[in-house]
Structure 1
Amino acid sequence: MTLRSVEPSKKKLWYAAIKPPMYSVAVMPIWVGSAVAFAETRSLNLLVFFTFLISAILILAWENLSNDVFDSETGVDVNKANSVVNLTGNKSLIFWISNAFLVAGLSGILAIALMQGDFTVIGLVLACCAIGYIYQGPPFRLSYQGLGEPLCFLAFGPLAFSAAYYSQTKAWSGTNLAASIGVGIATSLILFCSHFNQVEDDAAIGKKSPVVRLGAKRSAQLLPWICGSFYALTILFVILKLFPVWTLLSLLSFPVAKRLCHTIGSQYHQPHKLLRCRLIAVELHFWFGLLFGLGFLFLYAI
Protein backbone atom coordinates (compact mmCIF):
# COMPACT_ATOMS: atom_id res chain seq x y z
CA MET A 1 0.00 0.00 0.00
CA THR A 2 1.46 3.35 -1.02
CA LEU A 3 1.56 6.49 1.08
CA ARG A 4 -0.81 8.20 -1.37
CA SER A 5 -3.45 5.52 -0.82
CA VAL A 6 -3.21 5.89 2.97
CA GLU A 7 -3.37 9.71 3.11
CA PRO A 8 -6.86 10.14 1.64
CA SER A 9 -8.18 7.57 4.12
CA LYS A 10 -6.59 9.47 7.01
CA LYS A 11 -8.04 12.73 5.72
CA LYS A 12 -11.49 11.18 5.55
CA LEU A 13 -11.17 9.93 9.12
CA TRP A 14 -10.18 13.40 10.33
CA TYR A 15 -13.05 14.95 8.41
CA ALA A 16 -15.47 12.46 10.00
CA ALA A 17 -13.92 13.11 13.43
CA ILE A 18 -14.10 16.90 13.23
CA LYS A 19 -17.59 16.71 11.67
CA PRO A 20 -17.76 20.18 10.00
CA PRO A 21 -21.40 19.77 8.83
CA MET A 22 -22.45 19.08 12.44
CA TYR A 23 -21.77 22.69 13.37
CA SER A 24 -25.04 23.70 11.72
CA VAL A 25 -26.49 22.33 14.98
CA ALA A 26 -24.95 25.34 16.76
CA VAL A 27 -25.86 27.79 14.01
CA MET A 28 -29.58 27.08 13.58
CA PRO A 29 -30.87 28.13 17.03
CA ILE A 30 -29.02 31.45 16.68
CA TRP A 31 -30.18 31.90 13.07
CA VAL A 32 -33.85 31.11 13.67
CA GLY A 33 -34.10 32.73 17.11
CA SER A 34 -32.58 35.95 15.73
CA ALA A 35 -34.85 35.77 12.65
CA VAL A 36 -37.92 35.58 14.92
CA ALA A 37 -36.55 38.54 16.90
CA PHE A 38 -36.12 40.53 13.67
CA ALA A 39 -39.62 39.62 12.49
CA GLU A 40 -41.12 40.85 15.75
CA THR A 41 -38.97 43.95 16.34
CA ARG A 42 -37.71 44.81 12.82
CA SER A 43 -34.27 45.24 14.38
CA LEU A 44 -31.14 43.09 14.44
CA ASN A 45 -27.86 43.77 16.22
CA LEU A 46 -25.31 42.20 13.86
CA LEU A 47 -22.44 42.44 16.36
CA VAL A 48 -24.43 40.43 18.90
CA PHE A 49 -25.59 38.00 16.22
CA PHE A 50 -22.11 37.15 14.93
CA THR A 51 -20.56 37.10 18.40
CA PHE A 52 -23.23 34.63 19.51
CA LEU A 53 -22.80 32.56 16.35
CA ILE A 54 -19.02 32.16 16.78
CA SER A 55 -19.42 31.49 20.50
CA ALA A 56 -22.03 28.79 19.87
CA ILE A 57 -19.72 27.05 17.38
CA LEU A 58 -16.85 27.12 19.90
CA ILE A 59 -19.08 25.70 22.64
CA LEU A 60 -20.26 22.91 20.35
CA ALA A 61 -16.60 22.13 19.57
CA TRP A 62 -16.08 21.73 23.31
CA GLU A 63 -19.03 19.37 23.55
CA ASN A 64 -17.95 17.24 20.59
CA LEU A 65 -14.34 16.91 21.75
CA SER A 66 -15.19 16.33 25.41
CA ASN A 67 -17.71 13.67 24.39
CA ASP A 68 -14.93 11.87 22.52
CA VAL A 69 -12.85 11.99 25.70
CA PHE A 70 -15.69 10.69 27.88
CA ASP A 71 -16.58 7.95 25.38
CA SER A 72 -12.97 6.79 25.31
CA GLU A 73 -13.23 6.13 29.05
CA THR A 74 -16.22 3.80 28.71
CA GLY A 75 -14.96 1.78 25.74
CA VAL A 76 -17.95 2.59 23.52
CA ASP A 77 -15.61 4.11 20.91
CA VAL A 78 -13.13 1.24 20.88
CA ASN A 79 -14.09 0.40 17.27
CA LYS A 80 -14.64 4.00 16.20
CA ALA A 81 -11.78 4.90 13.86
CA ASN A 82 -13.00 8.49 13.49
CA SER A 83 -12.75 9.33 17.19
CA VAL A 84 -10.42 12.30 17.73
CA VAL A 85 -8.99 10.56 20.79
CA ASN A 86 -8.31 7.38 18.80
CA LEU A 87 -6.77 9.36 15.93
CA THR A 88 -4.40 11.32 18.18
CA GLY A 89 -3.85 8.75 20.91
CA ASN A 90 -3.71 11.66 23.35
CA LYS A 91 -6.82 11.90 25.50
CA SER A 92 -5.35 14.53 27.83
CA LEU A 93 -4.51 16.90 24.96
CA ILE A 94 -8.03 16.65 23.50
CA PHE A 95 -9.52 17.24 26.95
CA TRP A 96 -7.62 20.51 27.43
CA ILE A 97 -8.25 21.69 23.87
CA SER A 98 -11.96 21.12 24.41
CA ASN A 99 -11.87 23.17 27.62
CA ALA A 100 -10.09 26.00 25.78
CA PHE A 101 -12.94 26.06 23.25
CA LEU A 102 -15.44 26.23 26.11
CA VAL A 103 -13.68 29.17 27.77
CA ALA A 104 -13.44 31.01 24.44
CA GLY A 105 -17.12 30.42 23.67
CA LEU A 106 -18.33 31.50 27.10
CA SER A 107 -16.14 34.60 26.87
CA GLY A 108 -18.09 35.67 23.79
CA ILE A 109 -21.41 35.13 25.55
CA LEU A 110 -20.11 37.05 28.58
CA ALA A 111 -19.21 39.93 26.24
CA ILE A 112 -22.83 40.00 25.00
CA ALA A 113 -24.09 39.99 28.59
CA LEU A 114 -21.79 42.89 29.49
CA MET A 115 -22.92 44.82 26.39
CA GLN A 116 -26.52 44.34 27.49
CA GLY A 117 -25.90 44.91 31.17
CA ASP A 118 -28.00 41.77 31.69
CA PHE A 119 -26.68 38.30 32.55
CA THR A 120 -29.79 36.36 31.50
CA VAL A 121 -28.20 35.21 28.23
CA ILE A 122 -25.11 33.74 29.87
CA GLY A 123 -27.34 32.02 32.43
CA LEU A 124 -29.28 30.32 29.62
CA VAL A 125 -26.07 29.31 27.83
CA LEU A 126 -24.56 27.94 31.05
CA ALA A 127 -27.71 25.83 31.42
CA CYS A 128 -27.08 24.49 27.89
CA CYS A 129 -23.49 23.69 28.85
CA ALA A 130 -24.63 21.91 32.00
CA ILE A 131 -26.94 19.76 29.88
CA GLY A 132 -24.07 19.14 27.47
CA TYR A 133 -21.95 17.86 30.36
CA ILE A 134 -24.49 15.61 32.08
CA TYR A 135 -25.33 14.21 28.65
CA GLN A 136 -22.00 12.37 28.45
CA GLY A 137 -19.79 13.40 31.36
CA PRO A 138 -19.13 11.42 34.53
CA PRO A 139 -20.72 10.55 36.87
CA PHE A 140 -23.98 11.34 35.05
CA ARG A 141 -23.60 9.95 31.50
CA LEU A 142 -27.36 10.33 30.97
CA SER A 143 -27.05 9.51 27.27
CA TYR A 144 -26.14 5.98 28.35
CA GLN A 145 -29.60 5.74 29.90
CA GLY A 146 -31.29 6.75 26.64
CA LEU A 147 -31.89 10.37 27.70
CA GLY A 148 -29.67 11.98 25.07
CA GLU A 149 -32.49 12.95 22.72
CA PRO A 150 -34.64 14.85 25.26
CA LEU A 151 -31.54 16.59 26.63
CA CYS A 152 -30.50 17.54 23.10
CA PHE A 153 -34.00 18.89 22.41
CA LEU A 154 -33.97 21.03 25.54
CA ALA A 155 -30.47 22.45 24.98
CA PHE A 156 -30.70 23.13 21.23
CA GLY A 157 -34.41 23.91 21.26
CA PRO A 158 -36.07 26.07 23.97
CA LEU A 159 -32.92 27.08 25.88
CA ALA A 160 -30.75 28.02 22.89
CA PHE A 161 -33.64 29.73 21.11
CA SER A 162 -34.51 31.73 24.23
CA ALA A 163 -30.88 32.81 24.58
CA ALA A 164 -30.64 33.88 20.91
CA TYR A 165 -33.93 35.77 21.03
CA TYR A 166 -33.14 37.42 24.37
CA SER A 167 -29.71 38.52 23.13
CA GLN A 168 -31.50 40.63 20.52
CA THR A 169 -34.55 41.82 22.45
CA LYS A 170 -34.00 41.38 26.22
CA ALA A 171 -37.51 39.89 26.18
CA TRP A 172 -39.35 36.58 25.72
CA SER A 173 -41.58 35.34 22.93
CA GLY A 174 -44.22 32.64 22.60
CA THR A 175 -43.62 32.52 18.85
CA ASN A 176 -39.91 31.94 19.45
CA LEU A 177 -40.69 29.14 21.91
CA ALA A 178 -43.01 27.52 19.36
CA ALA A 179 -40.30 27.86 16.68
CA SER A 180 -37.82 26.10 18.96
CA ILE A 181 -39.93 22.93 19.05
CA GLY A 182 -39.59 21.95 15.39
CA VAL A 183 -35.89 22.80 15.15
CA GLY A 184 -35.28 21.09 18.50
CA ILE A 185 -36.89 17.89 17.23
CA ALA A 186 -34.86 18.06 14.02
CA THR A 187 -31.69 18.44 16.11
CA SER A 188 -32.55 15.45 18.31
CA LEU A 189 -33.21 13.48 15.14
CA ILE A 190 -29.50 13.76 14.25
CA LEU A 191 -28.56 12.10 17.53
CA PHE A 192 -31.26 9.45 17.07
CA CYS A 193 -29.93 8.55 13.62
CA SER A 194 -26.34 8.34 14.87
CA HIS A 195 -27.21 5.24 16.91
CA PHE A 196 -28.13 2.96 14.00
CA ASN A 197 -24.59 2.21 12.85
CA GLN A 198 -23.24 1.54 16.37
CA VAL A 199 -26.14 -0.30 17.99
CA GLU A 200 -24.05 -3.43 18.66
CA ASP A 201 -21.18 -1.48 20.27
CA ASP A 202 -23.68 0.49 22.39
CA ALA A 203 -25.45 -2.65 23.56
CA ALA A 204 -22.13 -4.36 24.35
CA ILE A 205 -21.14 -1.75 26.95
CA GLY A 206 -24.66 -1.24 28.30
CA LYS A 207 -25.45 2.05 26.57
CA LYS A 208 -29.25 2.07 26.38
CA SER A 209 -29.78 4.34 23.40
CA PRO A 210 -33.33 4.52 21.99
CA VAL A 211 -32.27 2.26 19.11
CA VAL A 212 -30.90 -0.32 21.58
CA ARG A 213 -34.09 -0.13 23.66
CA LEU A 214 -36.54 -0.27 20.75
CA GLY A 215 -34.49 -2.33 18.33
CA ALA A 216 -33.29 -1.15 14.93
CA LYS A 217 -36.46 -2.19 13.06
CA ARG A 218 -38.93 -0.43 15.36
CA SER A 219 -36.67 2.62 15.52
CA ALA A 220 -36.58 2.77 11.71
CA GLN A 221 -40.40 2.53 11.65
CA LEU A 222 -40.57 5.45 14.11
CA LEU A 223 -38.41 7.69 11.93
CA PRO A 224 -41.13 8.93 9.49
CA TRP A 225 -43.29 9.96 12.47
CA ILE A 226 -40.44 11.99 13.95
CA CYS A 227 -39.77 13.71 10.62
CA GLY A 228 -43.47 14.30 10.06
CA SER A 229 -43.85 15.92 13.48
CA PHE A 230 -41.84 19.07 12.75
CA TYR A 231 -43.54 19.54 9.39
CA ALA A 232 -46.97 19.04 10.98
CA LEU A 233 -46.16 21.53 13.75
CA THR A 234 -45.05 24.13 11.20
CA ILE A 235 -48.31 23.77 9.27
CA LEU A 236 -50.34 23.87 12.49
CA PHE A 237 -48.66 27.06 13.75
CA VAL A 238 -49.13 28.71 10.35
CA ILE A 239 -52.86 27.84 10.51
CA LEU A 240 -52.96 29.30 14.04
CA LYS A 241 -51.21 32.43 12.64
CA LEU A 242 -48.36 32.05 15.08
CA PHE A 243 -45.89 31.62 12.18
CA PRO A 244 -45.92 33.58 8.91
CA VAL A 245 -47.03 31.59 5.88
CA TRP A 246 -43.51 31.93 4.46
CA THR A 247 -42.25 29.42 7.04
CA LEU A 248 -43.92 26.78 4.85
CA LEU A 249 -40.77 27.13 2.74
CA SER A 250 -39.34 24.62 5.22
CA LEU A 251 -41.48 21.95 3.55
CA LEU A 252 -39.05 22.12 0.62
CA SER A 253 -36.69 20.07 2.79
CA PHE A 254 -39.12 17.13 2.65
CA PRO A 255 -37.18 15.21 -0.08
CA VAL A 256 -34.20 15.02 2.29
CA ALA A 257 -36.48 13.64 5.02
CA LYS A 258 -37.82 11.06 2.58
CA ARG A 259 -34.27 10.03 1.62
CA LEU A 260 -33.30 9.69 5.28
CA CYS A 261 -36.31 7.50 6.09
CA HIS A 262 -35.75 5.33 3.02
CA THR A 263 -32.02 4.88 3.70
CA ILE A 264 -32.50 3.76 7.28
CA GLY A 265 -35.78 1.93 6.64
CA SER A 266 -34.21 -0.25 3.94
CA GLN A 267 -30.85 -0.85 5.64
CA TYR A 268 -31.54 -0.82 9.40
CA HIS A 269 -30.40 -4.47 9.55
CA GLN A 270 -27.05 -3.58 7.94
CA PRO A 271 -25.53 -1.09 10.39
CA HIS A 272 -22.20 -0.91 8.56
CA LYS A 273 -24.05 0.78 5.68
CA LEU A 274 -25.56 3.47 7.91
CA LEU A 275 -22.39 5.29 8.92
CA ARG A 276 -23.37 8.31 6.81
CA CYS A 277 -27.07 8.40 7.73
CA ARG A 278 -26.30 10.97 10.42
CA LEU A 279 -25.01 13.29 7.69
CA ILE A 280 -28.36 13.00 5.88
CA ALA A 281 -30.04 13.96 9.17
CA VAL A 282 -27.67 16.95 9.42
CA GLU A 283 -28.57 17.91 5.86
CA LEU A 284 -32.28 17.73 6.74
CA HIS A 285 -31.73 19.83 9.87
CA PHE A 286 -29.77 22.42 7.87
CA TRP A 287 -32.32 22.88 5.07
CA PHE A 288 -35.32 22.78 7.39
CA GLY A 289 -33.77 25.37 9.73
CA LEU A 290 -32.45 27.62 6.95
CA LEU A 291 -35.76 27.74 5.08
CA PHE A 292 -37.76 28.04 8.28
CA GLY A 293 -35.71 31.05 9.41
CA LEU A 294 -35.98 32.65 5.97
CA GLY A 295 -39.75 32.43 6.36
CA PHE A 296 -39.60 34.92 9.23
CA LEU A 297 -37.26 37.25 7.32
CA PHE A 298 -39.45 37.16 4.20
CA LEU A 299 -42.36 38.40 6.28
CA TYR A 300 -40.92 41.91 6.00
CA ALA A 301 -38.64 41.57 2.98
CA ILE A 302 -41.37 40.84 0.42
Structure 2
Amino acid sequence: MYAVAVMPVLLAAGWRVQQKLPVRLDQLLLFLLAAVLLLAWENLANDVFDADTGVDANGKPHSLVNLTGRRDRVSLLANGALLLGLLLMALVAARSHGAVLALVLACCGLGYLYQGPPFRLGYRGLGEPLCWLAFGPLATAAGLMALAPAGAATVPWRAALELGSGPALATTLVLFCSHFHQVEEDAAHGKRSPVVRLGTGRAAALVPWFVAGCLAFEWAPVLVNHWPLTALLGAAGLPPAQALIRLLREHHREPERISGSKFLALRFQALNGLGLALGLALG
Protein backbone atom coordinates (compact mmCIF):
# COMPACT_ATOMS: atom_id res chain seq x y z
CA MET A 1 0.00 0.00 0.00
CA TYR A 2 2.83 2.38 0.78
CA ALA A 3 4.08 2.40 -2.81
CA VAL A 4 1.64 5.26 -3.34
CA ALA A 5 3.33 7.28 -0.56
CA VAL A 6 6.92 6.89 -1.72
CA MET A 7 6.37 7.18 -5.47
CA PRO A 8 6.34 11.00 -5.85
CA VAL A 9 9.81 11.45 -4.34
CA LEU A 10 11.23 8.38 -6.12
CA LEU A 11 10.01 9.86 -9.40
CA ALA A 12 11.57 13.19 -8.41
CA ALA A 13 14.88 11.42 -7.78
CA GLY A 14 14.76 9.65 -11.16
CA TRP A 15 13.93 12.93 -12.91
CA ARG A 16 16.83 14.76 -11.24
CA VAL A 17 19.27 12.03 -12.26
CA GLN A 18 17.98 12.20 -15.84
CA GLN A 19 18.48 15.99 -15.79
CA LYS A 20 22.05 15.47 -14.49
CA LEU A 21 21.17 17.25 -11.27
CA PRO A 22 22.38 16.11 -7.83
CA VAL A 23 20.11 14.05 -5.57
CA ARG A 24 20.43 14.60 -1.83
CA LEU A 25 20.21 11.05 -0.47
CA ASP A 26 19.74 12.16 3.15
CA GLN A 27 16.75 14.25 2.09
CA LEU A 28 15.41 11.38 0.02
CA LEU A 29 15.48 8.99 2.99
CA LEU A 30 13.88 11.52 5.34
CA PHE A 31 11.15 12.27 2.82
CA LEU A 32 10.45 8.58 2.28
CA LEU A 33 10.06 7.94 6.00
CA ALA A 34 7.86 11.00 6.51
CA ALA A 35 5.68 10.04 3.53
CA VAL A 36 5.12 6.53 4.90
CA LEU A 37 4.12 7.95 8.30
CA LEU A 38 1.71 10.42 6.72
CA LEU A 39 0.04 7.72 4.65
CA ALA A 40 -0.20 5.60 7.80
CA TRP A 41 -2.10 8.52 9.38
CA GLU A 42 -4.36 8.73 6.31
CA ASN A 43 -5.16 5.01 6.38
CA LEU A 44 -5.66 4.75 10.15
CA ALA A 45 -7.71 7.93 10.35
CA ASN A 46 -9.85 6.66 7.49
CA ASP A 47 -10.54 3.50 9.51
CA VAL A 48 -11.52 5.65 12.51
CA PHE A 49 -13.80 8.00 10.57
CA ASP A 50 -15.45 5.17 8.63
CA ALA A 51 -16.05 3.31 11.89
CA ASP A 52 -18.07 6.33 13.01
CA THR A 53 -20.39 6.03 10.01
CA GLY A 54 -20.51 2.22 10.03
CA VAL A 55 -19.59 1.94 6.35
CA ASP A 56 -16.72 -0.48 7.07
CA ALA A 57 -18.65 -2.81 9.38
CA ASN A 58 -18.94 -5.59 6.78
CA GLY A 59 -17.06 -4.40 3.69
CA LYS A 60 -13.60 -3.90 5.17
CA PRO A 61 -12.55 -6.77 7.46
CA HIS A 62 -8.91 -5.58 7.46
CA SER A 63 -9.85 -2.22 9.03
CA LEU A 64 -7.68 -1.87 12.13
CA VAL A 65 -10.68 -0.64 14.09
CA ASN A 66 -12.60 -3.77 13.09
CA LEU A 67 -9.65 -6.02 13.89
CA THR A 68 -8.92 -4.54 17.33
CA GLY A 69 -12.24 -3.09 18.41
CA ARG A 70 -10.29 -0.16 19.88
CA ARG A 71 -11.22 3.00 18.04
CA ASP A 72 -9.54 5.16 20.69
CA ARG A 73 -6.15 3.47 20.35
CA VAL A 74 -6.26 3.46 16.55
CA SER A 75 -7.08 7.18 16.65
CA LEU A 76 -4.13 7.81 18.98
CA LEU A 77 -1.82 5.83 16.71
CA ALA A 78 -3.04 7.77 13.67
CA ASN A 79 -2.44 11.14 15.33
CA GLY A 80 1.02 10.02 16.47
CA ALA A 81 1.93 9.04 12.89
CA LEU A 82 0.69 12.42 11.66
CA LEU A 83 2.71 14.36 14.24
CA LEU A 84 5.93 12.42 13.63
CA GLY A 85 5.50 12.57 9.85
CA LEU A 86 5.02 16.34 9.92
CA LEU A 87 8.00 16.83 12.22
CA LEU A 88 10.20 14.87 9.81
CA MET A 89 8.80 16.80 6.86
CA ALA A 90 9.49 20.07 8.70
CA LEU A 91 13.11 18.93 9.02
CA VAL A 92 13.20 18.21 5.28
CA ALA A 93 11.79 21.68 4.62
CA ALA A 94 14.28 23.34 6.96
CA ARG A 95 17.08 21.72 4.95
CA SER A 96 15.63 22.72 1.57
CA HIS A 97 12.74 25.19 1.29
CA GLY A 98 9.73 26.11 3.43
CA ALA A 99 7.44 25.47 0.48
CA VAL A 100 8.04 21.73 0.95
CA LEU A 101 6.17 21.75 4.25
CA ALA A 102 3.42 23.96 2.82
CA LEU A 103 2.88 21.56 -0.08
CA VAL A 104 2.79 18.54 2.23
CA LEU A 105 0.35 20.29 4.56
CA ALA A 106 -1.86 20.93 1.53
CA CYS A 107 -1.72 17.19 0.75
CA CYS A 108 -2.72 16.37 4.33
CA GLY A 109 -5.52 18.92 4.14
CA LEU A 110 -6.89 17.24 1.02
CA GLY A 111 -6.63 13.91 2.83
CA TYR A 112 -8.72 15.24 5.69
CA LEU A 113 -11.28 16.78 3.33
CA TYR A 114 -11.61 13.36 1.73
CA GLN A 115 -12.42 11.47 4.91
CA GLY A 116 -12.83 13.72 7.93
CA PRO A 117 -15.97 15.26 9.44
CA PRO A 118 -17.79 17.46 8.67
CA PHE A 119 -16.50 17.38 5.08
CA ARG A 120 -16.24 13.70 4.09
CA LEU A 121 -15.95 14.65 0.41
CA GLY A 122 -15.23 11.02 -0.40
CA TYR A 123 -18.86 10.32 0.51
CA ARG A 124 -19.84 12.76 -2.25
CA GLY A 125 -17.77 11.04 -4.91
CA LEU A 126 -14.94 13.59 -4.86
CA GLY A 127 -12.20 11.37 -3.45
CA GLU A 128 -10.61 10.58 -6.80
CA PRO A 129 -9.87 14.17 -7.92
CA LEU A 130 -8.56 14.98 -4.43
CA CYS A 131 -6.31 11.92 -4.62
CA TRP A 132 -4.92 12.99 -8.01
CA LEU A 133 -4.14 16.50 -6.75
CA ALA A 134 -2.45 15.28 -3.57
CA PHE A 135 -0.32 12.51 -5.07
CA GLY A 136 0.26 14.31 -8.37
CA PRO A 137 1.39 17.94 -8.67
CA LEU A 138 1.47 18.71 -4.92
CA ALA A 139 3.49 15.73 -3.66
CA THR A 140 5.71 15.65 -6.75
CA ALA A 141 6.53 19.35 -6.42
CA ALA A 142 7.38 18.79 -2.76
CA GLY A 143 9.67 15.89 -3.69
CA LEU A 144 11.43 17.90 -6.39
CA MET A 145 12.08 20.79 -4.01
CA ALA A 146 13.19 18.54 -1.15
CA LEU A 147 15.92 16.95 -3.28
CA ALA A 148 17.14 20.23 -4.77
CA PRO A 149 19.90 22.35 -3.22
CA ALA A 150 18.79 24.39 -0.22
CA GLY A 151 17.16 27.68 -1.07
CA ALA A 152 15.54 26.71 -4.39
CA ALA A 153 13.46 29.78 -5.14
CA THR A 154 10.28 28.66 -6.92
CA VAL A 155 7.90 25.72 -6.91
CA PRO A 156 8.57 23.69 -10.10
CA TRP A 157 4.93 23.35 -11.14
CA ARG A 158 5.63 22.56 -14.79
CA ALA A 159 8.01 19.72 -14.00
CA ALA A 160 5.69 18.47 -11.24
CA LEU A 161 2.71 18.33 -13.60
CA GLU A 162 4.66 16.61 -16.35
CA LEU A 163 6.23 14.10 -13.98
CA GLY A 164 3.38 13.50 -11.55
CA SER A 165 0.21 13.48 -13.64
CA GLY A 166 0.45 9.93 -15.03
CA PRO A 167 1.61 8.16 -11.85
CA ALA A 168 -1.02 10.05 -9.85
CA LEU A 169 -3.69 8.71 -12.19
CA ALA A 170 -2.42 5.21 -11.40
CA THR A 171 -2.70 6.02 -7.68
CA THR A 172 -6.22 7.34 -8.24
CA LEU A 173 -7.10 4.03 -9.90
CA VAL A 174 -6.20 2.25 -6.65
CA LEU A 175 -8.78 4.33 -4.78
CA PHE A 176 -11.34 3.87 -7.57
CA CYS A 177 -10.97 0.09 -7.47
CA SER A 178 -11.32 -0.05 -3.68
CA HIS A 179 -15.05 0.70 -4.07
CA PHE A 180 -16.11 -2.17 -6.33
CA HIS A 181 -16.58 -4.90 -3.73
CA GLN A 182 -18.57 -2.79 -1.25
CA VAL A 183 -21.09 -0.97 -3.43
CA GLU A 184 -24.11 -2.12 -1.41
CA GLU A 185 -22.52 -1.16 1.95
CA ASP A 186 -21.42 2.23 0.62
CA ALA A 187 -24.87 3.01 -0.80
CA ALA A 188 -26.59 1.93 2.41
CA HIS A 189 -24.44 4.33 4.46
CA GLY A 190 -24.73 7.29 2.11
CA LYS A 191 -21.28 6.99 0.53
CA ARG A 192 -21.83 8.01 -3.07
CA SER A 193 -18.53 6.82 -4.53
CA PRO A 194 -18.11 6.99 -8.32
CA VAL A 195 -18.75 3.24 -8.51
CA VAL A 196 -22.02 3.65 -6.58
CA ARG A 197 -23.08 6.50 -8.85
CA LEU A 198 -22.14 4.76 -12.11
CA GLY A 199 -22.86 1.16 -11.23
CA THR A 200 -20.22 -1.53 -11.39
CA GLY A 201 -20.60 -2.19 -15.13
CA ARG A 202 -20.01 1.37 -16.31
CA ALA A 203 -17.34 1.90 -13.67
CA ALA A 204 -15.48 -1.22 -14.84
CA ALA A 205 -15.57 0.16 -18.39
CA LEU A 206 -13.63 3.22 -17.18
CA VAL A 207 -10.66 1.22 -15.88
CA PRO A 208 -8.98 0.84 -19.31
CA TRP A 209 -9.24 4.61 -19.69
CA PHE A 210 -7.45 5.14 -16.38
CA VAL A 211 -4.61 2.94 -17.62
CA ALA A 212 -4.53 4.57 -21.05
CA GLY A 213 -4.56 8.05 -19.52
CA CYS A 214 -1.72 7.17 -17.18
CA LEU A 215 0.44 5.90 -20.03
CA ALA A 216 -0.49 8.82 -22.30
CA PHE A 217 0.72 11.31 -19.68
CA GLU A 218 3.97 9.35 -19.34
CA TRP A 219 4.63 8.69 -23.02
CA ALA A 220 3.87 12.21 -24.29
CA PRO A 221 7.16 13.67 -22.91
CA VAL A 222 9.04 10.85 -24.65
CA LEU A 223 7.38 11.69 -27.98
CA VAL A 224 8.45 15.34 -27.70
CA ASN A 225 11.99 14.40 -26.58
CA HIS A 226 11.64 15.77 -23.04
CA TRP A 227 12.31 12.30 -21.63
CA PRO A 228 14.49 9.44 -22.88
CA LEU A 229 13.11 6.28 -24.49
CA THR A 230 13.95 4.37 -21.32
CA ALA A 231 11.07 6.20 -19.61
CA LEU A 232 8.84 3.72 -21.45
CA LEU A 233 9.85 1.20 -18.77
CA GLY A 234 6.72 2.39 -17.00
CA ALA A 235 4.96 -0.12 -19.26
CA ALA A 236 6.15 -2.76 -16.77
CA GLY A 237 2.81 -2.17 -15.04
CA LEU A 238 0.78 -3.38 -18.01
CA PRO A 239 0.44 -7.10 -17.06
CA PRO A 240 -1.38 -6.44 -13.75
CA ALA A 241 -3.38 -3.69 -15.47
CA GLN A 242 -4.57 -6.17 -18.08
CA ALA A 243 -5.46 -8.67 -15.35
CA LEU A 244 -7.40 -5.96 -13.52
CA ILE A 245 -9.33 -4.93 -16.63
CA ARG A 246 -10.22 -8.55 -17.39
CA LEU A 247 -11.26 -9.30 -13.79
CA LEU A 248 -13.61 -6.32 -13.51
CA ARG A 249 -15.03 -6.76 -17.00
CA GLU A 250 -16.01 -10.37 -16.31
CA HIS A 251 -16.90 -10.32 -12.60
CA HIS A 252 -17.88 -6.75 -11.64
CA ARG A 253 -21.20 -8.04 -10.26
CA GLU A 254 -19.49 -10.53 -7.90
CA PRO A 255 -18.10 -8.73 -4.82
CA GLU A 256 -16.35 -11.82 -3.47
CA ARG A 257 -14.50 -12.32 -6.77
CA ILE A 258 -13.29 -8.72 -7.08
CA SER A 259 -12.42 -7.90 -3.46
CA GLY A 260 -8.74 -7.98 -4.42
CA SER A 261 -9.06 -5.68 -7.43
CA LYS A 262 -7.42 -2.76 -5.64
CA PHE A 263 -4.34 -4.91 -5.04
CA LEU A 264 -4.02 -5.51 -8.79
CA ALA A 265 -4.35 -1.75 -9.20
CA LEU A 266 -1.62 -1.30 -6.60
CA ARG A 267 0.65 -3.68 -8.49
CA PHE A 268 0.08 -1.66 -11.65
CA GLN A 269 0.78 1.59 -9.78
CA ALA A 270 3.96 0.30 -8.17
CA LEU A 271 5.46 -1.33 -11.28
CA ASN A 272 4.49 1.60 -13.49
CA GLY A 273 5.96 4.20 -11.14
CA LEU A 274 9.14 2.28 -10.40
CA GLY A 275 9.63 1.54 -14.09
CA LEU A 276 9.24 5.23 -14.94
CA ALA A 277 11.60 6.37 -12.16
CA LEU A 278 14.21 3.81 -13.18
CA GLY A 279 13.78 4.60 -16.87
CA LEU A 280 14.34 8.31 -16.24
CA ALA A 281 17.44 7.61 -14.17
CA LEU A 282 18.87 5.26 -16.81
CA GLY A 283 18.24 7.86 -19.48
Q: 2:212, 2:268 → 1: CA distance?
A: 12
Partner of residue 101, structure 1 = 81
Q: 1:200, 1:82 → 2: CA distance?
A: 18
Q: 2:20, 2:119 → 1: CA distance?
A: 40
Say if 2:25 is the partner of 1:46: yes
Q: CA deviation at 1:133?
A: 0.6
Q: Secondary structure at the match of 1:139?
A: coil
Q: CA deviation at 1:66?
A: 0.3
Say if 2:150 is the partner of 1:166: no
Q: CA deviation at 1:271?
A: 1.2
The aligned amino acid for 1:282 is L
Q: Secondary structure at the match of 2:253?
A: coil
Partner of residue 253, structure 1 = 237
CA contact (8 A) 1:175 1:243 kept: no
Deviation string 1:36-56 (CA, Å, 9 cap, x unpaired) is 123224211000000000000
Q: CA deviation at 1:255?
A: 1.4
Q: Secondary structure at the match of 2:222?
A: helix
Partner of residue 75, structure 1 = 54
Q: Secondary structure at the match of 1:256?
A: helix
Q: Secondary structure at the match of 2:61?
A: coil
Partner of residue 35, structure 2 = 56
Partner of residue 277, structure 2 = 293
The aligned amino acid for 1:241 is N
Match of 1:222 among 191, 206, 221: 206
Matches within 5 A, 1:11-160: 22-79=1-58, 80-116=60-96, 118-160=97-139
CA contact (8 A) 1:175 1:242 kept: no
Q: Secondary structure at the match of 2:225?
A: coil
Q: Which is further off, 175-184 or 99-108?
A: 175-184
CA contact (8 A) 2:183 2:196 kept: yes
Matches within 5 A, 1:195-234: 195-234=179-218
In structure 1, stretches of 5+ residues that fail to align are 1-21
Partner of residue 260, structure 2 = 276
CA contact (8 A) 1:36 1:176 kept: no
Q: CA deviation at 1:243?
A: 2.0
Q: CA deviation at 1:175?
A: 3.2
CA contact (8 A) 1:143 1:209 kept: yes
Q: CA deviation at 1:159?
A: 0.4
Partner of residue 240, structure 1 = 224
Cα pair distance change 1:104/1:272, threshold 3 Å: same
Aligned residues: 277
The share of aligned pairs that are identical, in percent, is: 43
Deviation string 1:179-208 (CA, Å, 9 cap, x unpaired) is 100011000000000000001100111111
Could you state the TM-score of these two structures normalised by the residue count of structure 2? 0.95
Q: CA deviation at 1:173?
A: 5.5
Q: CA deviation at 1:150?
A: 0.4
Partner of residue 193, structure 1 = 177
The aligned amino acid for 2:95 is M
The aligned amino acid for 1:93 is R
The aligned amino acid for 1:136 is Q
Q: 2:241, 2:278 → 1: CA distance?
A: 19
The aligned amino acid for 1:83 is S
The aligned amino acid for 1:95 is S
Q: 1:71, 1:46 → 2: CA distance?
A: 37
Deviation string 1:8-41 (CA, Å, 9 cap, x unpaired) is xxxxxxxxxxxxxx00010111100222123224
Q: CA deviation at 1:296?
A: 1.1
